[in-house]
Each structure stands twice: as C-alpha cells, then as structure tokens.
Amino acid sequence: MSAPGAVTLLGPQRLAPTLPDVVRAAGIDLQSSSCAPMATITAGWQEREDDDRDLVDALLGNTVNLRLYARAADIFERDTELTAAHSERGRRLRDLQSLYELRLGHAMDAVYELAERLDGGQLVDDEIRSALDAVRVLDQRLLERSGEVIDEFVEQWRPAERDVVAAHRADVATILAESCGLAIAGGQVPTLLNRIHLLGVADHVAGLPVFAWSAGAMIATERIVVFHDDPPHGRPYARMFEHGLGWFPGVVAMPDARRRLHLDDPLRIGFLARRFAPAVCLGFDDGAHLVSPIDGGNSSSSERRDVIVRRGVLHLSDDGSVDELAA
C-alpha cells in the first residue's frame, strides 16, 4: 500500500456538509479550469452508489466516481470462481464475528458487574483492569484471525492477477493518477472496505489528499470499531471489526457520537476509552473535522506532523469525560 497525503476525517455530511470548505482549506480549487477532478468512493451505499448528486454538487461537478461497487459486481458476474471464493471468505469472517460477539458479550458483562460492586476498593479496581485486559485479548484475537482469513484468500486466489480484476484495477489506478484528491463517503463498512481492497485503491493514493467521513472515516484508521449504545438487537457493546487502511493512526473514529453513544455516562465512556488505548477515541459529529498530514506527502515517509484540529471533535477520555479537542 502507498501512503496518501494529508488525511482529513469529517463528521457526517448529510445534515451539515462541510466537505466544500475543507477541500478549499486544503488549497484545492475545484473551480479552476486547470484543477483535476476529485475521485470519489460511494461503494458503501451499495446499489445507490450512483445516487451521488449531492456529493457531485458539493464538489462543483469536478468529480469522477470510481464506481467500486459496480466494478465489483462486474467482477463477480464474470469470474464465478473468484465469486464463490469471495463469498466463502465473507462467510468465514461473519462466523468469526459471531463467535467473537458471543464471547465479548460475556466478557463485557463481567466488566460492568464488577463495576457495580459497592464494596469497591483496590481489589475490585484490579479485577476491572484484568477484565478489560481480557476484552482486549478478544479484540486482538478477532483482528488476527480475520487477518488470517483475508491473507489466505489473497494468497490462494491472487485476485489482482485475475484478468477481470486486473483490468478494473488498472482503470482505477489511472483515474487516481489523474485526480486532485480522494473523497470517501460512508455507508456499509464491510462493503466499503472489501471493495477498496478488491480494487486496489490503497496501492495508488501516494501523495493524494484524502477526505473521509462516516464509514469512510472509520476505515481510514488502523482498527475499525463498530458501536452503538442502543442497538436494535444484541448487547450494547462496541466491537472490533477488522484492520483499517491505517492512513490515520492512533485514532478510533466514532461518527455520529452524540446519536450513537451515551456521552453522559462516564462509566461507559471511561471503559470505552480504556479498552482501545493507546489509540484515542474521537467522536465526529456534524461539522467536525480533523487533519493529519504526512510530511510533504512523501509516500516513503511515515512521519506525520502534529494533528490539526479545524473544528469541534469530541475526545472520549479514560476518566469518562467528553471534551471538545482544542484547535
């Protein structure tokens, strides 16, 4: 994978679109006749991938959609052998998630039951730390086993070398080479992530500024955490999903934090922050964005300058407090 240029994580764009301002602040003038188009990814919207008029308008019409979802559909239609293997890969990953969620639920129940012990004291505090360590072990095991399934699929089937995949990858590489940046929208995390991997997007972003929000922001980080304190089913515990693209290290991105998390519950917030440390849990609500540039956009350098906070981003602390990061 190649390293992108400056990476900007944004809050949701549906109600309070800030992408145009952020792009301009990055020095990209999409109105200029000499400005290359902004490549966009809306694969997380699945069948609605082409329903991107609002995004096109926000970027002044100077866009080109990579159409990763449609490209993957074409691949799956024309390469039935790869399709079957990819389907089996997905089934194995879902099975791992199901088993992980079963164990995670009991492990997190133990953390909260310990916290309810009124006798408290150092002994209980030590047991809570140990219980959280056990949860972290489960999280890491899920990442490792998922990685093994994905690596096995790539090694056995070598999708990049298959004719139909190679043709689409070459087209995507050409578009990215002729773009001024890359904008990644939200939608379904699994769909968005595996289409980006299948079409080799990460191999062709060297030096490109990246703007990502919602699910796009989540997959841009090192570890993808899915979360909801009031889920429609299942226990209300955040869960590890997969390794992300690693473009914005040291952060767990949590879009729509005010809608999806009980930010007024210090115990819950504290456990969340402690569980994913040393990464920092950051909430991205409407209007928020955060920039973390790579020095010079040099793909050979992983050194990043200080993170730049442009607008309100919520920091979830291990003491249970929630504060807006200072600019």
Residues 256-300 pLDDT 10s: 999 999 999 999 999 999 999 999 999 999 989 999 855 433 333
With beta carbons less than 8 A apart as the criterion, state whether 202 and 2 touch: yes
Helix residue ranges per DSSP H, 220-277? 257-260, 266-276
Instruction: Give mean pLDDT, residues 192-202.
Output: 97
Under the phi-then-psi rule, with left for phi > 0, alpha for psi from -120 to 50, and beta for the rest, what region is 128?
Answer: alpha
Question: Worst-scoring range by mean pLDDT, 19-33, 39-53, 144-158?
Answer: 19-33
- In this prediction, residue 296 carries a pLDDT of 36
pLDDT value for 303 = 44
- Per-residue pLDDT at 49 exceeds 70: yes
Average confidence (pLDDT) over 35-46:
97
Confidence of residue 310 (pLDDT cuts 50, 70, 90): low
> What value does the mean pLDDT of the chain take?
92
Q: What per-residue confidence (pLDDT) applies to 14?
A: 86
Across the range 180-195, mean pLDDT stands at: 97
Enumerate the domain spans of the chain. 7-324
What percentage of the chain exceeds 70 in pLDDT? 93
The pLDDT, as a whole number, for residue 2 is 77
Report the alpha-carbon distance of residue 293 to residue 201 in Å, rounded.
Answer: 19
Q: What is this structure's pTM?
A: 0.92
Q: Is pLDDT of 304 > 60?
A: no
Q: Where are the alpha helices (DSSP H) in 59-161?
A: 68-78, 80-115, 121-157
pLDDT given at position 38: 97
- Which of 92, 301, 123 shows the shortest CA–CA distance to 84? 92
> Which residues have C-beta within 8 Å of that of residue 118, sequence separation ≥ 6?
none
Rg of the Cα atoms in the chain: 20
Higher-confidence residue: 79 or 305?
79
Task: Give the pair of three-digit tokens for residue 150.
Answer: 């994905």
pLDDT over threshold 80, residue 11: yes
Instruction: Specify the DSSP class assigned to residue 99.
Output: H
* pLDDT > 60? residue 309: no
Specify whether the CB–CB gap between 325 and 315 falls below 8 A.
Answer: yes
Given a contact cutoff of 8 angstroms between Cβ atoms, the answer to whether 316 and 273 are in contact is yes
Instruction: Grade residue 305 by pLDDT with cuts at 50, 70 and 90.
Output: very low
Contacts of 105 (CB under 8 A, 6+ apart): 234, 235, 237
- 308: pLDDT strictly greater than 90: no
How many CB atoms lie under 10 A from the CB of residue 281?
26
Please name the helix (run of DSSP H) or strand (run of DSSP E) that holds residue 282, with its range, or none.
strand 280-284
pLDDT per residue over 160-172, tens digit each?
999 999 999 999 9
Answer whether residue 301 shows pLDDT above 50: no
Whole-number pLDDT of residue 233:
85
User: What is the arithmetic mean of pLDDT over 73-81?
Assistant: 97
* pLDDT band at residue 62 using 50, 70 and 90 as cut-offs: very high
What does the DSSP assignment read for 199-229? TTGGGG-TT--EEEETHHHHHTBSEEEE--S
- Measure the CA–CA gap between 20 and 93, rounded to whole angstroms: 37
Q: Do 180 and 36 touch, CB atoms closer than 8 A?
A: yes
CATH superfamily of 7-324: Class I glutamine amidotransferase (GATase) domain (3.40.50.880)
Please give the pLDDT value at position 302: 42
pLDDT tens profile 99-131? 999 999 999 999 999 999 867 688 888 999 999
